[in-house]
Structure 1
Amino acid sequence: MERDQKRLQELSEALQKFQDDLQSAIDARQRLESQQAENKAVQKEFNGLDEDADIYRLVGPVLLKQDKSEAKSTVDGRLDFIGKEITRTETRIKDIQQSSEKSRMEMMQLQQKMQLAQGPG
């Protein structure tokens, strides 16, 4: 019985950790989605510019002129990277949810076992 109680405590702590990890992963995905939206807006602006339009990049307190193809390539690269990170984060979220559910089921089964062992009270 004491072993079951200890296991129940371990499962409870594991579930709390899963919840914390899940919240962190969800926050990360939201940040990535925000960055993706910003970069898509920039990409859309680039597509609407004339070929000879000047593009400036903010570096610290200074605006530096940048080649349009280089700027466009940088944004495209960022979008590709962000897309891969979103996919990786979503996989992590699913893994955490599966592990959490497995622990939750084990915890419920253990609680049932302990109630049956106590018998009618």
Structure 2
Amino acid sequence: QKLETEIANFQALQKEFQKVVQSRTQLESQLNENEMVSREFDLLKDDATIYKLIGPVLVKQDKVEAVTNVKKRIEFITAEIARLETQMADLESKQEAKKSEV
């Protein structure tokens, strides 16, 4: 009975770990996309026209504002990735502890 409970707890930890890994992968993809946008902005002239897609509509946006938004997004995503990596390390140590118990 106790062994079954421990195995179920271990499997729950594995599932949670997989969710965190999936979230991190998704964030890394978003980070790459935003970094690519940032590099594209570097190639533009200061007076270039930039449009932002909001729903089905393209809205004109100031370059400074667009660059600032992308930089803030990159900072946020980087912080989230760091948080998830800490969570992954915590879950890995919990899994190792459960594995030794089982």
Q: Tell me the residue number matched to 1:34.
A: 29
Aligned residues: 102
Equivalent position of 1:24 in the other structure: 19
Instruction: For residue 60 of structure 1, report the CA deviation from its aligned partner.
Output: 1.1
State the 1:8 CA deviation: 1.1
Q: Secondary structure at the match of 2:59?
A: strand
Q: CA RMSD in A?
A: 0.6
Instruction: After the TM superposition, list the runs of 4 or more consecutive aligned residues in structure 1 that deviate by more than 4 angstroms.
Output: none
The offset of 1:36, in angstroms, is 0.1
1:15 pairs with one of 5, 10, 13: 10
Letter in 1 for 2:52: R
Q: TM-score, normalised by structure 1?
A: 0.83
2:45 is paired with a residue whose SS is coil
Higher Rg: 1
Give the corresponding residue for 2:50: 55
1:70 maps onto 2:65 in alignment: yes
Shift of 1:13: 0.5
How does the TM-score come out when normalised to structure 2?
Answer: 0.98
Q: 5+ residue gaps in structure 2? A: none
